[in-house]
């Protein structure tokens, strides 16, 4: 057993030696210079700015060299986050800046011991809120005592507090990183950051590097060897020195620096991929206008005219109706829809309420117009397009986003087929854990919610809604066969594909993220 172990160790050492010798011959001067710095500081991590300073290389040279060395496993790279702390710009310009508690101590020393006098003093300028905050901080520092609305100084108030010491250090150095603070200063920082208009805190993302064991072995081997030349000069040829020189090899497999070439936004690429999947499943793409009449956006979908979704706080209404191609349909369809509304919702349907134009709140009005026009007995269509909601922007909501939806109609169309279509669609996207949950939607019955399992969060999440369009929607259009419908927000699907926590990251124009997303995701 021990013999085998020794053989494995010998093989491993031999492989490492071969790698080192092969790398020496193809090492670029930039790589050697970076590796030299890392070797001499091999016990600690080195950040970009330190590496630039010690190697005397430019930032571009550093980045190229790091990529080459990382490819050869000569170093380890780690992303780090640091917080830079400085005083607010307004305080930097104020030569007479004091924390409120010091201003209060100075006021008492000048003979203003009454709280009313302190508030009226030039230092506080009738800012009672600041005075009472100063009293609280002075009490915490054990600088003062209060009796009969008067302030009395205690021994020790003449010495600076820990917070003042940190402020003075920031004044002197202009800024500090959180890692540069000692334990006492960290406590003072936690107190000061809760105060308004005192500190500026900036998050800084850095990379840091440390030489690997393989890198150490290489550097030691290369340092003990013969100096290699990279260029053959005229002097070498004329003087005959070339006969005794050893030259570096050129590594034609060395990785190139990443180019900032233009490419499609990852979201656009993903939309194209989903379109290709749906076309491959036999669906045809349709399209329509962003601006729709309220009739197509609401009434034709069996949404009553007093429904909260039609309120201005939820929907963008357009002031002008000129040059917008989404007119009301012929009279017979309007009459059919009005009869359905009045019969089922028990109110007097008003054609005037169906005329205002809106930015479509979903893509379904385009699908409904297609059904009304074509009246297909059997068909499979889909649509991916922009929709607009008057909502507060958050990590999961946008004012403007994309929606994907599809329909399938046929004589024997049923809910089981719809579930099979959705399952196949998700499978083609690499999503395998799927289940369906009964729910309610205004214009489908029965209705289901598709759920998929998110491994990152370790839980089931809602994705697309689906169901069979109600007869109250299809019969006024002249559609007799069942229509299976499904759809939902496309960005939610994109968040899963790109492993994002915040929907806004898709539109933040973060170049680092945009460049890092591979064109082809396997």
pLDDT in tens, 246-296: 776 666 666 666 666 778 888 999 999 999 999 999 999 999 999 898 899
Give ∠ CA 3-4-5 in degrees, rounded to 5: 90
Q: Which of 130, 81, 78 is nearest to 102 (CA)?
A: 130
Helix axes 29-40, 213-223, angle to 10 degrees: 110
Q: How far apart are CA 345 and CA 297, in angstroms?
A: 18
295 and 444 fall within a common domain: yes
pLDDT at site 102: 93
DSSP letter at 250 equals P
341 and 482 fall within a common domain: yes
Enclosing domain of residue 499: 266-516
pLDDT at site 156: 92
152 and 186 fall within a common domain: yes
503 and 413 fall within a common domain: yes
Number of folded domains in the chain? Answer: 3
pLDDT at site 422: 94
304 and 442 fall within a common domain: yes
199 and 226 fall within a common domain: no
Q: How far apart are CA 311 and CA 335, in angstroms?
A: 24
SS (H, E, C) 15-29: HHHHHHHHHHHCCCH
Q: Residue with structure tokens 């009434």? A: 299
Q: Is the dihedral of CA 302, 307, 308, 311 positive or negative?
A: positive
Q: How far apart are CA 281 and CA 267, in angstroms?
A: 21
pTM over 0.75: no
Residues of the chain with pLDDT under 50: 1-6, 8-13, 15-16, 522
Q: Which of 372, 295, 281 is nearest to 328 (CA)?
A: 295
Contact 61, 69 (CB under 8 A): no
Contact 328, 468 (CB under 8 A): no
Name every residue whose Cβ is closer than 8 Å to that of residue 148 and which is 6 or more positions away in sequence.
none
We report the CATH number of the domain holding residue 236 as 1.10.10.10
Q: Is the dihedral of CA 104, 106, 108, 112 positive or negative?
A: negative
In a domain, 260, yes or no: no
We report the CATH number of the domain holding residue 305 as 3.30.930.10
Average pLDDT over the chain reads: 85
Q: How far apart are CA 27 and CA 68, in angstroms?
A: 9
In a domain, 363, yes or no: yes
512 and 398 fall within a common domain: yes
Q: How far apart are CA 456 and CA 435, in angstroms?
A: 18
pLDDT at site 254: 60
pLDDT per position as a tens digit, 155-164: 999 999 999 9
pLDDT at site 4: 47
Q: Which of 235, 275, 224 is nearest to 425 (CA)?
A: 275
Give ∠ CA 170-176-178 in degrees, rounded to 5: 125
pLDDT at site 256: 64
In a domain, 6, yes or no: yes
In a domain, 84, yes or no: no
106 and 52 fall within a common domain: no
189 and 289 fall within a common domain: no
Two tokens, residue 429: 């996207």
175 and 306 fall within a common domain: no
We report the CATH number of the domain holding residue 176 as 1.10.10
pLDDT at site 6: 46
Q: How far apart are CA 152 and CA 52, in angstroms?
A: 55
In a domain, 137, yes or no: yes
In angstroms, the Cα distances linking 53 to 29, 46, 48, 219 are 17, 11, 9, 20
In a domain, 255, yes or no: no
pLDDT at site 418: 94
In a domain, 249, yes or no: no
pLDDT at site 27: 72
Q: Which of 133, 140, 131, 137 is nearest to 113 (CA)?
A: 131
In a domain, 439, yes or no: yes
308 and 198 fall within a common domain: no
DSSP string, 380-429: EEEEEEEEE------SS--SEEEEEEEEEE-TT--HHHHHHHHHHHHHHT
476 and 353 fall within a common domain: yes
Instruction: Decide which of 204, 232, 254 is a domain's last residue.
Output: 204
Burial of 381: CB neighbours in 10 Å, binned 0-12, 13-18, 19+: buried
How many Cα atoms within 13 Å fall on the side-chain side of residue 236?
Answer: 11
């Amino acid at each position: 057993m021990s013999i085998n172990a020794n053989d494995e160790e010998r093989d491993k050492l031999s492989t490492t030696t071969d790698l080192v010798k092969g790398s020496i011959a193809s090492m670029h001067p930039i790589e050697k210079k970076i590796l030299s710095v890392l070797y001499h500081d091999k016990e600690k991590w080195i950040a970009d700015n330190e590496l630039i300073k010690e190697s005397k290389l430019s930032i571009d040279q550093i980045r190229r060299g790091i990529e080459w060395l990382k490819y050869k496993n000569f170093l380890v790279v780690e992303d780090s986050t640091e917080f830079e702390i400085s005083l607010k710009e307004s305080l930097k310009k104020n030569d007479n800046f004091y924390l409120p508690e010091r201003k209060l101590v100075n006021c008492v020393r000048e003979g203003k011991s009454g709280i009313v006098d302190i508030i009226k003093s030039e230092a506080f300028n009738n800012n009672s809120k600041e005075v009472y905050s100063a009293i609280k901080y002075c009490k915490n520092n054990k600088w003062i005592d209060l009796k009969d609305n008067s302030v009395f100084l205690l021994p020790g108030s003449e010495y600076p507090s820990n917070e003042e010491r940190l402020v003075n250090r920031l004044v002197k150095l202009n800024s500090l990183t959180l890692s540069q603070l000692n334990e006492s200063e960290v406590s003072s920082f936690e107190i000061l950051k809760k105060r308004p208009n005192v500190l500026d805190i900036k998050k800084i993302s850095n990379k840091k590097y440390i030489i690997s064991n393989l890198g150490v072995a290489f550097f030691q081997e290369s340092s003990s060897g013969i100096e290699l030349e990279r260029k053959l000069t005229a002097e070498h040829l004329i003087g005959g020195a070339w006969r005794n020189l050893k030259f570096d090899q050129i590594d034609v497999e060395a990785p190139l620096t990443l180019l900032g070439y233009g490419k499609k936004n990852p979201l656009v690429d993903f939309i194209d991929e989903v379109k290709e999947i749906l076309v491959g499943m036999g669906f045809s793409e349709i399209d329509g206008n962003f601006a729709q009449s309220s009739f197509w956006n609401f009434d034709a979908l069996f949404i009553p005219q007093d429904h909260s979704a039609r309120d201005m706080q939820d929907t963008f209404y357009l002031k002008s109706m000129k040059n917008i191609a989404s007119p009301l349909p012929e009279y017979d369809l309007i009459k059919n829809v009005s009869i359905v509304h009045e019969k089922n919702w028990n109110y007097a349907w008003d054609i005037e309420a169906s005329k205002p134009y809106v930015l479509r709140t979903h893509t379904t009005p385009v699908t409904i117009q297609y059904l009304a026009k074509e009246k297909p007995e059997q068909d499979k269509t889909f649509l991916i397009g922009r929709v607009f909601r008057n909502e507060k922007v958050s990590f999961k909501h946008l004012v403007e986003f994309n929606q994907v939806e599809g329909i399938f109609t046929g004589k024997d169309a049923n809910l089981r087929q719809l579930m099979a279509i959705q399952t196949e669609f998700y499978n083609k996207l690499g999503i395998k854990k799927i289940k369906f949950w009964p729910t309610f939607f205004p214009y489908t019955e029965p209705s289901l919610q598709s759920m998929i399992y998110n491994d990152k969060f370790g839980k089931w999440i809602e994705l697309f809604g689906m169901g069979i369009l109600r007869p109250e929607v299809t019969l006024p259009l002249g559609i007799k066969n069942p229509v299976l419908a499904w759809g939902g927000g496309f960005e939610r699907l994109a968040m899963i594909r790109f492993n994002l926590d915040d929907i806004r990251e898709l539109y933040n124009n973060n170049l680092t993220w945009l460049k890092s997303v591979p064109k082809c995701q396997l």
